Amino acid sequence: MPMVLVTGGIKRIGDQSMSKRDFYEVLGVSRDASERDIKKAYKRLAMKFHPDRNQGDDTAAEKFKEVKVAYEILTDAQKRSAYDQYGHAAFEQGGMGGGGFGGGGADFGDIFGDVFGDIFGGGRRGGQQRAQRGSDLRYNMELTLEEAVRGCDKEIEVPTLVSCDPCEGTGAKKGTSSTTTCSTCHGQGQVQMRQGFFAVQQACPTCHGKGKIIKDPCNSCHGEGRVHKTKTLNVKIPSGVDTGDRIRLSGEGEAGEHGAPAGDLYVQVHVKEHNIFERDGNNLYCEVPVSFTMAALGGEVEVPTLDGRVSLKVPLETQTGRMFRMRGKGVKGVRTHSAGDLIVKLIVETPVKLTKRQKELLQEFQESFDGKDAKKHNPKSEGFLSGVKNFFDDLTK
Ligand SMILES: [Zn+2]
Ligand SMILES: [Zn+2]
């Protein structure tokens, strides 16, 4: 099933909204552009926005689809004249047979394949089309670390398609028989067309490949059986979720055409950066500053956890960067029973803005190291210096 993206909880990027831009404008051609000009413009734009060249760029993918739809309409004489006459309204009934509208599936085939495929018309869709299940939707949800760890209830607004009330999703005006067999294709959904040397099968222009038409379409949904609506949903986020987790709400996607089943809604979790903790799986990391006096003499510091402060014993002669593991103070994952750990990195802080007196004290303190056993007070310097000495000795050999 194709997926339509809903971002940030507000905007829905899908075919329907994108298709509202003027097709000529989309391709950057004049209204009297020749088919050749349209093809040229399409090739250029399709190359530019092709997903292979714009990995992971949703905007480019949408542009690509938009360009493709505009191209498909404007290079089809019948559709182009309908569009010139009625604008987008020409295609709003019953979903497009020509591909590109409907389900919101981006068909990222090779663009030359697309141009070629176009000669063969609806070659890709075989036989009669049935009412399709509605599109799945994806909703990107941003959570704070606390919300993700503890779980929460979130209300979201989803612009979507819902089953039409007056016709109960059938698309036919209430009290009329819902469908009749299409007389153009006799229910086949496809017709034979001649295009130059080719005899090609095309989706029937009358019924858009469905084989059936609604004689008396419902006024609210114009025969589609579904209407646009912004749904408000309550989503229960389980505790322990992390970026990349997905919550499926069955049947909460777009309603299908003509009463076909609805798609699903996927809530895609993204956890925002936290200003204290960094999460890696079920472990949490944080850095805690300590004064160098405490690092030297030992003591206790307060360490933040997601459940409040705890105290951490700083051992005597602690070097900067030393890590301490606090068991069970991490995150209880959504699939695990036990919590991870909190890993605290102590950073020894150099004092700043010293007074004259403090500087004197430090000076005096430094002088106290002078003498032959100064080395033993600075284990790192000692190791480092002898390493440097060996390095230079090796060089001069
Ligand atoms: Zn037909
Ligand atoms: Zn209706």
Tell me how far the alpha carbon of residue 208 is from its chain's centroid: 31
Q: Give the tens place of pLDDT for each residue, 108-129.
A: 333 333 333 333 333 334 444 5
* Ligand at shortest distance from the CA of 178: 2
How far does the centroid of ligand 2 lie from the alpha carbon of residue 174, in Å? 8
Structure tokens at 184: 């153009």
pTM of the model: 0.58
Asked if 74 and 38 touch (Cβ cutoff 8 Å), the reply is yes
Asked if 49 and 67 touch (Cβ cutoff 8 Å), the reply is yes
How far does the centroid of ligand 1 lie from the alpha carbon of residue 213, in Å? 7
How far does the centroid of ligand 2 lie from the alpha carbon of residue 171, in Å? 5
User: What does the pLDDT average to over 96-106?
Assistant: 33
* Ligand at shortest distance from the CA of 217: 2
Residues with CB under 5 A from ligand 1 (ion): 182, 184-185, 204, 206-207
* Ligand at shortest distance from the CA of 191: 1
Cα distances (angstroms) measured from residue 317 to each of 87, 298, 300, 314, 366: 78, 7, 13, 9, 17
270-276 contacts, C-beta under 8 A, 24 or more apart: 270/140, 270/141, 270/142, 270/143, 270/243, 271/142, 271/143, 271/144, 271/145, 271/148, 271/241, 271/242, 271/243, 272/142, 272/143, 272/144, 272/145, 274/144, 274/145, 276/304
- Range with the largest mean pLDDT of 162-166, 180-184, 208-212, 383-387: 162-166
Say what the pLDDT of residue 73 is: 86
Residues with CB under 5 A from ligand 2 (ion): 164, 167, 218, 220-221
* Ligand at shortest distance from the CA of 129: 1
Say what the pLDDT of residue 88 is: 74
How far does the centroid of ligand 2 lie from the alpha carbon of residue 235, in Å? 28
Q: Say how many C-beta atoms besides its own lie within 10 A of residue 275's C-beta.
A: 7
How far does the centroid of ligand 2 lie from the alpha carbon of residue 169, in Å? 6
Say what the pLDDT of residue 123 is: 37
Q: Give the tens place of pLDDT for each residue, 289-310.
A: 999 999 999 999 999 999 899 9
- Range with the largest mean pLDDT of 122-131, 176-185, 255-264: 255-264
How far does the centroid of ligand 1 lie from the alpha carbon of residue 196, in Å? 23
How far does the centroid of ligand 1 lie from the alpha carbon of residue 161, in Å? 25
Lowest mean pLDDT among 72-76, 138-142, 152-156: 72-76
User: What does the pLDDT average to over 52-56?
Assistant: 77
* Residue 180 pLDDT exceeds 60: yes
User: What does the pLDDT average to over 130-147?
Assistant: 89
* Ligand at shortest distance from the CA of 206: 1
Mean pLDDT rounded to a whole number for the chain: 81
Lowest mean pLDDT among 47-56, 181-190, 193-202, 330-339: 193-202
Say what the pLDDT of residue 47 is: 82
Cα distances (angstroms) measured from residue 30 to each of 23, 27, 59: 10, 9, 24
* Residue 317 pLDDT exceeds 60: yes
* Ligand at shortest distance from the CA of 128: 1
* Residue 251 pLDDT exceeds 80: yes
- Beta bridge pairs of residue 157: 232
Q: Give the tens place of pLDDT for each residue, 278-288.
A: 999 999 999 99
Residue 67 CA to residue 230 CA, distance in Å, equals 27
User: What does the pLDDT average to over 171-197?
Assistant: 81
How far does the centroid of ligand 1 lie from the alpha carbon of residue 392, in Å? 86
Q: Which residue has the higher pLDDT, 273 or 260?
A: 273
Q: Give the tens place of pLDDT for each residue, 68-86.
A: 888 888 888 888 887 887 7
Structural domains of the chain, ranges and CATH numbers in brackets: 3-120 (1.10.287.110), 278-393 (2.60.260.20)
Say what the pLDDT of residue 119 is: 33
User: What does the pLDDT average to over 324-336?
Assistant: 91
Say what the pLDDT of residue 107 is: 36
* Residue 102 pLDDT exceeds 70: no
Q: Give the tens place of pLDDT for each residue, 207-217.
A: 888 888 888 88
Residue 278's φ and ψ, nearest 5 degrees, are -120, 135
